[in-house]
Structure 1
Amino acid sequence: MAPAPDAYPIDPNGEVGFTVEAARMKFGPGMLAELGGDAQALGMQRVALFTDPRVAATAPFAAGLASLKAAGLDVVVFDACRVEPTSASFLEAAAFAADGDFDGYVSIGGGSVIDTAKAANLYATYPAEFLAYVNKPLGEGRPVPGPVKPHIACPTTCGTGSETTGVAIFDHVEKQVKTGISSRHLRPTLAVVDPRTIDSLPPGAIAATGFDVLTHAIESHTARPYRTRPRPENSTLRPPYQGANPWSDIGSLQAIRLGGQWLERAVNDPADSEARDALMFAATLAGLAFGNAGVHIPHAMSYSVAGMNHSFTATGYEAVDPMVPHGVSVVLNAPAAFRFTGPAAPAAHLRAADALGADTRGASPEDGGELLATRLIAMMRATGLPNGLSALGYGEADIPGLVTGASAQQRLLTIAPRPVSDEDLRGLYRDAMRYW
Structure 2
Amino acid sequence: MSEKKKGSIIGLMPLIVFLTLYLATGFVSGSFDNMPLMIGISIACFVAFLLQKPGEEKVSFTDKVTIFCKGGGDDTLILMVIIFLLAGAFYSVANNMHAVDSIVNIGLTILPTRMLLPGLFLIGCVLSFSMGTSMGTVSALMPVAVDLAAKTGVNVALIGGVVVGSAMFGDNLSFISDTTIAATRTQEVSMKDKFRANFLMVLPAVIINLVLLSFVPMGKEVAAQVYDFNVINILPYAVIIVLSLIGMNVIPVMGLGILSGLVIGMMHGDFNLLESLGILHEGMTWMEDMSLIAVLVGGMVALMKYFGGIDYLLEKLTNKTKSARGGELSIAALVSLLDISTTNNTISIIAAGPIARNIADAQGIDRRRVASILDLFSSAFNGLLPYAGQLLVAGGLAGISPTAIMPYVWYCLLMLASGVLFIVIGFPKQFGSSK
**TM class by shorter-chain length?**
under 0.3
* Higher helix fraction (1 or 2): 2
Q: Tell me which protein shows more strand as a share of its residues.
A: 1
TM-score under structure 1 length normalisation? 0.26
The structure whose Rg is larger is 2
TM-score (norm 2): 0.26
Higher relative contact order (CA 8 A, sep 6+): 2
